[in-house]
Structure 1
């Protein structure tokens, strides 16, 4: 594990112990607020954890551009800096905030390193399990257990669509398209949504699901996870078939075990999804 990957792992771990876990199932009235809708929430834990992580990054990597989900909510212009930054650190302090706020044990913390508009390292940390999935471009993807033991990750082998498990986020589709897509995806064995990309990417990278489908492409939600999937042997593309890049904020995203199964799933979704 490189120094930067280990630094991000340890920083997320420290932020979880200091700012996240002490607030889990202990949020006071007023500690949870809506951002854009009733399903888009922010808590005191999100904001405190991001401040903690940003301060640590400023000390360790002062030249890096820091892009956090809550920081972009206050200053949307930060997003445009990822494309041209020599080095950017992109962070989601709590992914699955709605679950966290509800006291549901299904959330995670994510960080990615971008150089030259390419993700080169990613970490998805599970505060409750105290372990992380870590990927570095060209070096593979690993589960790192609390004692430091490492286990190489591999995506699942391809299966017929009727035997496949997928997670999908369809809430951003207009209702007629959502009905169409969900009807089409009824062909799959299981279709789920855990309301946390962090845990969905962990499931994908460790071989427990076959597909992921997303429309909204905020970088903190997908950079670490897509690198994990690719380094675990999976196939990741935007819906138009192009490579997913850190600067992409539109175009949808589909992950699969390989290119052939990606194409089969893309065809299943239908031509009205773009």
Structure 2
């Protein structure tokens, strides 16, 4: 794919997400009717907006590039679809409403996301934040952007006692949760997150956070933001140092995202005890 066609692809996918959001998601924000919010798993909800937006986005992405689509809601109905990440040379990943619990509760911290995976690596990603009209995009080896402006996260210079981070420990055993909370007291401020990866990852890319520790790493949640962070100068890697790749659900757990390599190493050392 040439440079010109790559530019067109980046622009077209951004348009697809914004248009699907305007059609199926935003009109339902704080306007969901009774019966339009369902529980798909214990503690996890889905709305008609998620399902309708995924159908729209998936169809239009396939028209743009005819490869399989691994969408969050489609995989919820048929988990075998996620194996395309391992077996197909190219795959679209789609999260139609990232932060569904926020969206259903009328909170503006939600996003619409997609990424393109080739040979197991994320090569392009898009995050649309409807509440603020903010579009993030990243392309492997080419950079990251916010509303068309290049992102370049400078290395951290503040001491660790001023660092800000997120610890997503919901899926950990209580003893490990308490151990991490205790270890993290050496940092300036840590909190439990904003319940939307599409809101959290940009905070690292833009300098508002120094790190995030995730445990469960569903591919549609983490593929877009991981590329955004790494292309802006940060690191997204498993706790053994292996760079993040979008594995199907049930794959490796634990993911540390940080502003730069030195910050990543220091946070891992501290949290490892």
> TM-score normalized by structure 1?
0.93
Matches within 5 A, 1:38-77: 38=43, 40-62=44-66, 64-77=67-80
Separation of aligned partners in 2, 1:101 and 1:74:
20
Matches within 5 A, 1:143-154: 143-144=146-147, 150-154=148-152
Q: Look up the match of 1:147.
A: none
Report the Cα offset of residue 259 of structure 1. 1.8
Cα displacement string for residues 98-147 of structure 1 (whole angstroms, at most 9, x for unaligned residues): 10000011111110001111110000111122221100011110111xxx
Separation of aligned partners in 2, 1:98 and 1:251:
22
Report the Cα offset of residue 156 of structure 1. 4.8
Separation of aligned partners in 2, 1:199 and 1:210:
14
Report the Cα offset of residue 48 of structure 1. 0.8
Unmatched segments (≥5 aa) in structure 1: 145-149
Q: Look up the match of 2:143.
A: 140
> May I ask how many residue pairs the two structures share in their alignment?
264
Unmatched segments (≥5 aa) in structure 2: 1-5
> Aligned to 1:166, what secondary structure does the other structure show?
strand
Separation of aligned partners in 2, 1:105 and 1:7:
25
**Does the 8 Å contact 1:156/1:206 carry over to 2?**
no
Separation of aligned partners in 1, 2:14 and 2:60:
12
| Greater Cα shift, 225-234 or 200-209 | 200-209
Separation of aligned partners in 1, 2:32 and 2:119:
39
Separation of aligned partners in 2, 1:140 and 1:225:
13
Q: Look up the match of 2:200.
A: 200
Alignment of 1:224 with 2:229, yes or no, is no
How large is the Cα RMSD of the aligned pairs? 1.3
Alignment of 1:26 with 2:31, yes or no, is yes
Over 3 Å off, 4+ runs? none
Q: Look up the match of 1:131.
A: 134
Separation of aligned partners in 1, 2:125 and 2:237:
17
Alignment of 1:266 with 2:268, yes or no, is yes
**Does the 8 Å contact 2:98/2:196 carry over to 1?**
yes
> Aligned to 2:270, what secondary structure does the other structure show?
helix
Q: Look up the match of 1:173.
A: 172
Report the Cα offset of residue 269 of structure 1. 1.1
Separation of aligned partners in 1, 2:153 and 2:255:
17
| Greater Cα shift, 125-134 or 41-50 | 125-134
- Which residue of the other structure, out of 5, 14, 18, is the alignment partner of 1:13? 18
Q: Look up the match of 1:243.
A: 243
**Does the 8 Å contact 2:95/2:112 carry over to 1?**
yes
**Does the 8 Å contact 2:205/2:259 carry over to 1?**
no
> TM-score normalized by structure 2?
0.93
Separation of aligned partners in 2, 1:153 and 1:59:
30
Report the Cα offset of residue 161 of structure 1. 2.0
